[in-house]
Chains A and B, each alone.
Chain A
Amino acid sequence: MKRSAVGQTLDYVRVHYLARGRYRVRRYASVLVEHHADNLQRARTIADELAYMHALVAARGVADNLADARADAMGLLRALARVGAVASDLDRSLSGDYTNAADCVRLTAELVSGAGTLAHQLANHLEGDLALSHVGGLARVLATSLFDTRRHVSKVGDLVQVLSAPNHDVGGIAGRVTGVAVRVLPARHRERYRDEYGSELHELAAAGTPRWRQIAYALRLLDRSWVLRAELRTPAVSKARS
C-alpha cells in the first residue's frame, strides 16, 4: 500500500530523530575520549613530578610520605588505563549495533568514579606537605576533571538508554507533544484529556509499542487537537449534521 504523506513524514521524523541521537552520542563519546586523554596526561604529570621529587629527597631519607603518594599515583594511572580500555570498547559499540554499550557505560562510570576518589585522596594526602603541595594542587585539578568526566559519562548513558531501548519514550517526547496538544483545548477540558492521553501513552508503552510509534501517536493527537478543540467549543445542537 502506498504510504500517506503523514506516514512518510512520521518515518522521516523517526529516522531524523534516531540519526540525531546517534550523532549526539558519537559526539559525546569523542568528547569522552578527549576528557580521558587530558586526565591521563594530568596523572602522568603527577607521577613524573612525584618521581622527580622522590629522586631529590630520597638521599635525605625523608621519602616515606612521598613513597605513599607515588603508590597512589601509580594506582591512579592503572585505574585510568582501565578507563581507557573500557572507553575504547564503548566507542566501538557506539560505532556498531550498541552491543554491551550500556554495560560499558556503567563500567566506565564506576572506573571514573574510582579514579576520581583516588585523585581526591592523593590531593588530601599531599595537602599538608609543603614540599609537595604543588603536586597536591595538580591532583585536585585532576579530581575535579574526573568529576566532570563522570557527569559526561552520565550524558552518554542517558543517550545510550534512549537509543538502545526502543520500547520506551525515555526522553518523554511523546508526553511533551501531548502536553502541547492538551494546551490547545479549552481550559475546562484540559485535565480530562491530559489524563486520557497519558493513560493511552502508558498503555502503548506497556504493550511494547516502539518509541517512535508513541511519538507518532502523540503527533496525531496534536494534529487533531484543533478539530477536537472545535468540537468541544461547539454547542451540542449545532453538532448535528454539521
Chain B
Amino acid sequence: MPGPKMTIPTQLVLRALLEHPTRELYGLEICAAAGLASGTIHPILARLEGLGWLESRWEDIDPAKEGRPRRRYYRLSPDGAERARHALANARTPLTGLPGLAHGGGIG
C-alpha cells in the first residue's frame, strides 16, 4: 500500500516519531517534538494509524490513583518506521529544503 501524502506537517510528525522509534509519545509530546501548534496533529495521527504506520494504546494507569487522566500513547509500528524512513527520504519537499523547519522550527 502506498504511503500518505507527505505534507510538511506529516513529515514533521514522522521525523519526531522516528527520533526515538521505540519510545511512545502522547499527543502534546508529539506536538512539541514536531514543533507544530498543539491541537493540529490528530488528523495526521489518525491518517497514519489508519494506514498501519502508527500504533496507539491507552496508558495503563489508575487515573484516581495518579490524579490525572490516562494518556493516549503513539509509536510507529515496525513496518511503519521502515516505511516512514523511506517516505521521508523520497519526499518531494524534503524538510531540509525549508529553512527554519529542518531543526524543529514550528509552523502554525
Interface residues in chain A, defined as those with a beta carbon under 8 Å from any beta carbon in chain B:
4, 6, 192-193, 195-196, 198-200, 202-204, 206, 216-221, 223-224, 227-228, 230-232, 234, 236-237, 239-242
Residue-by-residue, is B34-53 near A (CB-CB < 8 Å gives 1, otherwise 0)?
00011110110011001110
Q: Counting CB contacts under 8 A, is B4 at the interface?
A: yes
Q: Please report whether the interface of chain A is mostly helix, strand, loop or mixed according to DSSP.
A: helix
Contacts of A192 in B (CB 8 A): 72
Q: How far is the CA of A201 from the CA of B86 in the complex (A)?
A: 34
Q: Counting CB contacts under 8 A, is B70 at the interface?
A: yes
13 residue pairs bridging A and B, Cβ less than 8 Å apart: A6-B108, A195-B69, A199-B26, A199-B71, A203-B68, A217-B39, A218-B39, A220-B39, A224-B42, A228-B42, A232-B46, A236-B1, A239-B47
Q: CB distance B42 to A203 under 8 Å?
A: no
Contacts of B52 in A (CB 8 A): 236
CB within 8 A of A204: which of B4, B28, B58?
Answer: B28
Question: What count of chain B residues pass the 8 Å CB interface test?
Answer: 26
| 9 further A-B pairs in the complex, CB-CB below 8 A; given A203-B28, A224-B40, A231-B46 | A202-B68, A219-B39, A221-B39, A224-B39, A228-B43, A231-B50, A232-B50, A236-B52, A240-B51
Q: Which residue of B lies closest to A219 (CB)?
A: B39
Q: CB distance A220 to B43 under 8 Å?
A: no
CB within 8 A of A220: which of B2, B37, B58?
Answer: B37
Q: Counting CB contacts under 8 A, is B21 at the interface?
A: no
Q: Which residue of A lies closest to B42 (CB)?
A: A228
Q: How far is the CA of A212 from the CA of B4 in the complex (A)?
A: 34
Contacts of A240 in B (CB 8 A): 1-4, 51
Q: Which residue of B lies closest to A242 (CB)?
A: B5
Q: Which residue of B lies closest to A241 (CB)?
A: B2
Beyond A4-B108, A236-B50, whether A231 also contacts B43 by CB under 8 A is: yes
Closest 4 CB pairs of A and B: A220-B39, A199-B69, A240-B2, A231-B46
